Structure 1
């Protein structure tokens, strides 16, 4: 298809029973402005070469009309193409403004792997729906570069990590659904993101408005740090005191142990103490004589 229909602009194969991998030859459709493969049984990774859809990168292409000449001899004018598109969750018929629409819908398939980073090069893409697949990894950090995005739906996947801060730059965004993933952390603050309902973020481990669970991130003071260090020392093992206690026990039993179990040593020890007492007594007598 990428070779024989290289100039195709609209490809809608929605709600069929296509299965298998997404052909990489589709990336040769550089004039493609609408790709809708939703509700099929496609699997595997989304090709990285999806960034080859150059029409979705240049605003100048929007001036091209999608017109076809009439073969009817009674009409000399051409007619404008129209199409039924599901955009922002609703099906509508596009005719006069069809040439301005830029959208990709790969929802309700079995795609795996990550969201291709190259998709962020499609700066004039207006709608991106990758929902209800098995995508993993993180949302591309540079998603904010897709400045024309009006609708994002990544729901029902297994995406993880934090929501990129750059998403707050999407000032035209009117539909956002990141629910039922494995996202975590604080929802970026912006005048745009906080206007969406909490259902756009549920089913994750996120916090902050518009969700009811607030993020509790406190900056530790010097007192808290000292307290934390003390608590850490209490919870840990102080090997200095352990070695002292161990040395005392070993020294004590090395000296006292033989006195308990060896009668000869015990007798010699007490004789030593008696002689020591006698010597100390004589020394005291001499000192007393000098005082007199």
Structure 2
């Protein structure tokens, strides 16, 4: 039922139907919240794709039978820690996880040992910490975009300062030699004297 124009919330009774080998409700206009725990009557190896909708609220906990979970391009928010670190009595079989383009923002917890079969992950939110390349702040928060821009501006000013210093230093010495002929002759005589003394020492 992907891309069929569904524009409603998912009723509670829906999660009691099934079982499913694949549940694909992606690219619709489904809104509302999912239950805290999706107790779907499904078979082992099920694909759940709810991407590209308007779902909100916390990320739901999904049973161990799911191997592919795509919740990307929604408006999920809240803590990713509860989702990743929730204890389960059964070994999680999830292999592919996509949470990109939601409203998740915090440090990623180190709970990957609970997902031993995971081979592909797309977190793609305002998250920080391993396995992402974006490091968290000392307080364990996501770096502020404006702060990064200010730092980048600071780096640019360093180059400007170096260039300005070079120009002032160079022309502060060479400029008078071009302007004042007597200074230029005196400088040339000084160089000649130095060359003569060096030759004498040799």
Query: Which residue does the alignment assign to 2:73?
Result: 132
Look up the match of 2:185.
none
Unaligned runs of 5+ in 1: 1-12, 60-100, 188-192, 194-200, 209-214, 218-292
In the superposition, the TM-score normalised over structure 2's length comes to 0.58
Whichever of the two has the greater Rg, that structure is 1
Counterpart Cα distance in 2 of 1:55 and 1:108: 22
- The offset of 1:160, in angstroms, is 2.1
- Secondary structure of 1:26 counterpart: helix
CA distance in 1, matches of 2:121, 2:23: 19
CA RMSD of aligned residues (A): 2.5
Deviation at 1:165, TM superposition (A): 1.7
Moved over 3 A (4+): 143-146
Relative to the length of structure 1, the TM-score reads 0.42
- Residues 12-59 of structure 1: CA deviation (Å, up to 9, x unaligned): x011111011121111115233211000011111233522x1435xx5
Q: What does residue 111 of structure 1 align with?
A: 55
Residue number among 85, 96, 104 corresponding to 1:142 in the alignment = 85
Partner Cα separation in structure 2 for residue 127 and residue 143 of structure 1 = 18
Q: Which residue of 1 aligns with 2:103?
A: 158
CA drift of 1:167 comes to: 2.3
- Higher RCO (Cα < 8 Å, 6 or more apart): 2
Taking the aligned partners of 1:32 and 1:26, their CA distance within structure 2 comes to: 12
1:34 is matched with: 22
User: Which of the numbers 22, 31, 55 marks the counterpart of 2:10?
Assistant: 22
Q: Is the 8 A contact 1:31 1:54 kept in 2?
A: yes
Q: Distance in 1 between matches of 2:72 and 2:106?
A: 17
Between the aligned partners of 2:117 and 2:35, the Cα distance in structure 1 is: 27
Counterpart-to-counterpart distance in 1, 2:98 and 2:84: 16
Number of paired residues?
135
1:27–1:49 contact (8 Å) kept in structure 2 = no
In 1, Cα distance between the equivalents of 2:6 and 2:71?
Answer: 17
Structure 1 residues 49 and 24: CA distance shift in structure 2, 3 A: farther
Taking the aligned partners of 2:87 and 2:69, their CA distance within structure 1 comes to 13
Mapped to 2, the partners of 1:143 and 1:105 lie a distance apart of: 21
Q: Are the equivalent residues in 1 in contact too, given 2:31–2:55 (CA < 8 A)?
A: yes
1:224 corresponding residue in structure 2: none
Aligned to 2:127: 183
